[in-house]
Amino acid sequence: MTPGAYKIVKLANGVHSVHSLAHRETFHPVIGPVAEAEALYVKQLRLADRIREQAAEFVIWDVGLGAAANTLTVLRATRGSPCPIRMLSFDQTIEPLEFALGHIETLGYFGGYESPVRTLLQNHRAHFRDGQHDVEWELHLGDFPGLLAGSVACLPTRSLPAPQAILFDAFSPATNPAMWTLPLFSHLFSLLDPQRPCALPTYSRSTMLRVTLLLAGFYVGAGRATGEKEETTIAANTLNLLDEPLDHAWLERARRSTSAEPLHGPVYRQARLSSGTWESLRSHPQFK
């Protein structure tokens, strides 16, 4: 592990989290790892109920494994269901998770999962019994945009199982623009199964992100608050999974925004909607 790449920080509410010195960003910086994961993913996606109602395997994509707080919070919250879970975690590095394992007591969310996490780091796969269900946990290490592009190219073979929930937690567009482009979300949407409802929440509420998700094919709505954030974003391949879909009033605000045009490549910038993007946006089924 790169020496001094991460450090433990204490948040305003007393909870501890991991800080990346290279990206100058703190993981779950507002209310802490567990509280944010519960609000943004567990409760908003109604995961406990959805998994409990399903007999077959439930597939979750964990985009941005980081220090594994999202994954472990989801597993802990759903362990009362007999439905098996297949968790696919994606990241470019395992360094933050390795660092977090050295601070288990301080971080406080690893309890009972230390062994599966170590197995995952060693083998990139861990199979274990968790409460009432079996968990198959896979680690896909490398360039996520490239992985998606390759998966789209070989879509008939479906090398990755279509998800029913996506925990999207990449670093911000300003520091990691490659993870927030229109091509990435378009590829992601094309890998979903139209017959398998899937929702993707994320911490950002930016107009640029919401426009990007809409143009990629998703329906998009306002997401639940997380601590100091009054609103987040949730996208889905079916309108039924959204409690508050974006409406025409939002569409007009997007038209006036100075930062709404999607990123078409891995370079961060802010721009107004182009005329072509505006026409595509207002013809989206969500606004008809």
- Categorize the per-residue pLDDT at 158 as very low, low, confident or very high, splitting at 50, 70 and 90: low
Question: Is residue 11 pLDDT above 70, yes or no?
Answer: yes
Task: Please give the Cα distance from 163 to 41 (Å, whole number).
Answer: 14
The whole-number average pLDDT for the span 174-192 is 96
Structure tokens at 253: 């605000």
Question: Is residue 108 pLDDT above 90, yes or no?
Answer: yes
- Average pLDDT along the chain: 93
The whole-number average pLDDT for the span 194-201 is 96
Task: Please give the Cα distance from 246 to 286 (Å, whole number).
Answer: 8
Instruction: For 160, list phi and psi in degrees, rounded to 5.
Output: -120, 135
Q: What is the pLDDT of residue 282?
A: 94
Q: What is the pLDDT of residue 118?
A: 97
Task: Please give the Cα distance from 98 to 77 (Å, whole number).
Answer: 23
Q: What is the pLDDT of residue 159?
A: 77
User: 70 with 41: CB under 8 angstroms?
Assistant: yes
> In this predicted structure, which of 147-156, 226-235, 258-267 has the lowest mean pLDDT?
147-156
Q: What is the pLDDT of residue 124?
A: 97
- Categorize the per-residue pLDDT at 153 as very low, low, confident or very high, splitting at 50, 70 and 90: confident
- Categorize the per-residue pLDDT at 18 as very low, low, confident or very high, splitting at 50, 70 and 90: very high
Question: Is residue 47 pLDDT above 90, yes or no?
Answer: yes
Q: What is the pLDDT of residues 210-258, one digit of tens each?
A: 999 999 999 999 998 887 678 999 999 999 999 999 999 999 999 999 9
Domains of the chain: which residue ranges? 28-287
User: What topology is assigned to 28-287 in CATH?
Assistant: Rossmann fold (3.40.50)
Residue among 204, 135, 205 at smallest CA distance from 171: 204
pTM for this model (two decimals)? 0.94
- Categorize the per-residue pLDDT at 155 as very low, low, confident or very high, splitting at 50, 70 and 90: low
Distances (CA, A) of 60 to 34, 46, 199: 18, 13, 10
